[in-house]
Amino acid sequence: MSMILTIADLKDLARRRVPKMFFDYADSGGWTESTYRANEEDFQKIKFRQRVMVDMSNRSLESTMIGEKVAMPVALAPTGMTGMQHADGEMLAAQAAEEFGVPFTLSTMSICSIEDVASVTKKPFWFQLYVLRDKDFVLSLIDRAKAAKCSALVLTLDLQILGQRHKDIRNGLSAPPRFTPKHVWQVATRPGWCIGMAGTRRRTFRNIVGHAKGVGDLTSLSSWTTEQFDPHLSWKDVAWIKERWGGKLILKGILDKEDALMAAKTGADAIIVSNHGGRQLDGAPSSIEVLEEIADAVGDTIEVHMDGGIRSGQDVLKALCLGAKGTYIGRPFLYGLGALGKEGVTKALEIIRKEMDITLALCGKRLVTDMGKDQLRR
Ligand SMILES: Cc1cc2nc3c(=O)[nH]c(=O)nc-3n(C[C@H](O)[C@H](O)[C@H](O)COP(=O)(O)O)c2cc1C
């Protein structure tokens, strides 16, 4: 554990501990994965200004996201099938986030349900909603998130249809895995993962199975999900979702300033500049490339968050400098979870915190909220 110093170290360990089909599910992007790669690579092009001879004592990473106090402006992004990276993954990640003091966002396509996560946490978490054709089910999901006292609804806009990820098709991804020789081999070579999974009942999409009409068993689930994402979703749908929800609303998946301006008009509390971690439109720009122009376009009309490609505390600070009030990490916490369970998620957050703290100091700042464009070389 003491030699785990970077998110890349957690990724290496996760690769060895998580069955290939689930590791690949996390470590993949759409088609050629060019946008997935650009999300990480474009951060490297941005350079800080090093400042010296300033008082670096009493530093603080504390901030707020949608009015909620956060230990650092880094939330856990919603990720589907997190409970397949590690048994009870969503529950463990939510606990790690709660203890650390950052928001956890539960995906609609999670393995552990809203109620499962609520049963092991004390503070409110956030819930991510996919709008599906079965509107009664969508309404019931909103109501369940309200009943669980979730403090924000994250509405995902960029997955009306599913981008193609070649690895998932080649691997024959499913949850739980199928019993073909290939799948049995992938699972059997990860004994720690198997022991964890044998010890939990949570091995399928528990927000859905037993709640949505016609999904009583596992065999009907895969066809249900492909049929159910709603390609008709449009800006006018935000109004009824907002009304039913009645709380803080975050719109996720904005990558264009025209869309950002539309989003600001909906009265939502924040947008997430995001390309779904490069998993949807391959060939789209990286999130960090478009962040500044989007933040400048919306100004103070809506809070701006971003995700995609953050692999260090330095990346978080670069995003803050370019106009984000908050950021999210997807794969970094999944790698931590796959590598070491709850402790690994905490480790991922600690790595990022330390990198942020040291970088802040070497840029000559004491408060993370003071980071702005003038801390970058341009
Ligand atoms: C394995 C995986 C599953 C994901 N599932 C969802 C999801 O269910 N809902 C959603 O809105 N975004 C989902 N995302 C996108 C993340 O919320 C986030 O936008 C992305 O992971 C950020 O990029 P990063 O992984 O480089 O940090 C998923 C991402 C990954 C890697």
The pLDDT score that the predictor gives to residue 176 is 77
pTM for the full predicted model: 0.97
Distance 183 CA to ligand 1 centre (A): 24
| Domain membership flag for residue 14 | no
Total of domains in the chain: 1
What is the DSSP secondary-structure string of 191-216? Answer: HHHHHHHHT-S--S-TTTTTTSTT-S
Residue whose CA is closest, atom 29 of ligand 1?
Answer: 79
Binding residues, as ranges, are 25, 78-80, 107, 128, 130, 156, 165, 252, 274, 276, 279, 307-311, 330-331
| Domain membership flag for residue 291 | yes
Whether the CB-CB separation of 340 and 1 falls below 8 Å is answered with yes
Distance 322 CA to ligand 1 centre (A): 21
- Taking alpha carbons only, the member of 183, 252, 214, 209 closest to residue 111 is 209
| Domain membership flag for residue 178 | yes
Residue listed under structure tokens 């040291």: 358
Torsion of CA 353, 106, 224, 175, to 10 degrees: 60
Strands (E), the chain: 63-65, 68-70, 74-76, 105-106, 126-129, 152-156, 248-254, 270-273, 303-307, 326-329
Residue whose CA is closest, atom 6 of ligand 1?
Answer: 79
Residue whose CA is closest, atom 11 of ligand 1?
Answer: 156
Contacts 24+ apart (CB under 8 A), 247-251: 247/146, 247/150, 247/151, 247/152, 247/153, 248/66, 248/67, 248/151, 248/152, 248/153, 249/152, 249/153, 249/155, 250/66, 250/126, 250/152, 250/153, 250/154, 250/155, 250/305, 251/155, 251/157
| Domain membership flag for residue 333 | yes
Q: Which range, 60-69, 164-173, 223-232, is most confident?
A: 60-69
Binding residues for glyoxylate, as ranges, are 25, 165, 276, 279
pLDDT at 222 over 70: no
- Choose the weakest-confidence range: 94-98, 152-156, 226-230, 260-264: 226-230
The model's pLDDT over 267-320, given as tens digits with 9 standing for 90+, comes to 999 999 999 999 999 999 999 999 999 999 999 999 999 999 999 999 999 999
Distance 304 CA to ligand 1 centre (A): 18
| Domain membership flag for residue 32 | no
For residue 266, the domain's CATH number is: 3.20.20.70
| Domain membership flag for residue 224 | yes
> What is the C-alpha separation between 290 and 274, in angstroms, rounded?
9
Written as six digits, the tokens of 179 are 């019993």
Domain span at residue 144?
38-369
Concerning whether 183 is annotated as a catalytic residue, the answer is no
Can you tell me which atom of ligand 1 is nearest the CA of 156? Answer: 11
> What is the C-alpha separation between 43 and 183, in angstroms, rounded?
36
pLDDT at 226 over 90: no
Can you tell me which atom of ligand 1 is nearest the CA of 332? Answer: 27
Distance 74 CA to ligand 1 centre (A): 14
> Which among 22, 228, 255, 279 is the best mutation to test ligand 1's pocket, defined by most ligand atoms within 8 Å of the CB?
279
The model's pLDDT over 8-53, given as tens digits with 9 standing for 90+, comes to 999 999 999 999 999 999 999 999 999 999 999 999 999 999 999 9
| Domain membership flag for residue 18 | no
- Taking alpha carbons only, the member of 150, 125, 371 closest to residue 246 is 150
Distance 122 CA to ligand 1 centre (A): 24
Residue whose CA is closest, atom 1 of ligand 1?
Answer: 26
pLDDT, mean of residues 335-347: 98
| Domain membership flag for residue 7 | no
Catalytic residue among 86, 183, 232, 276: 276
Binding residues for FMN, as ranges, are 78-80, 107, 128, 130, 156, 252, 274, 307-311, 330-331
**Residue 262's pLDDT band (boundaries 50, 70, 90)?**
very high
Can you tell me which atom of ligand 1 is nearest the CA of 107? Answer: 8
Percent of the chain with pLDDT over 70: 98
pLDDT at 77 over 80: yes
The model's pLDDT over 351-376, given as tens digits with 9 standing for 90+, comes to 999 999 999 999 999 999 999 999 99
Residue whose CA is closest, atom 19 of ligand 1?
Answer: 276
The pLDDT score that the predictor gives to residue 219 is 62
Distance 194 CA to ligand 1 centre (A): 24
pLDDT at 221 over 70: no
> What is the C-alpha separation between 59 and 351, in angstroms, rounded?
17
The pLDDT score that the predictor gives to residue 172 is 87
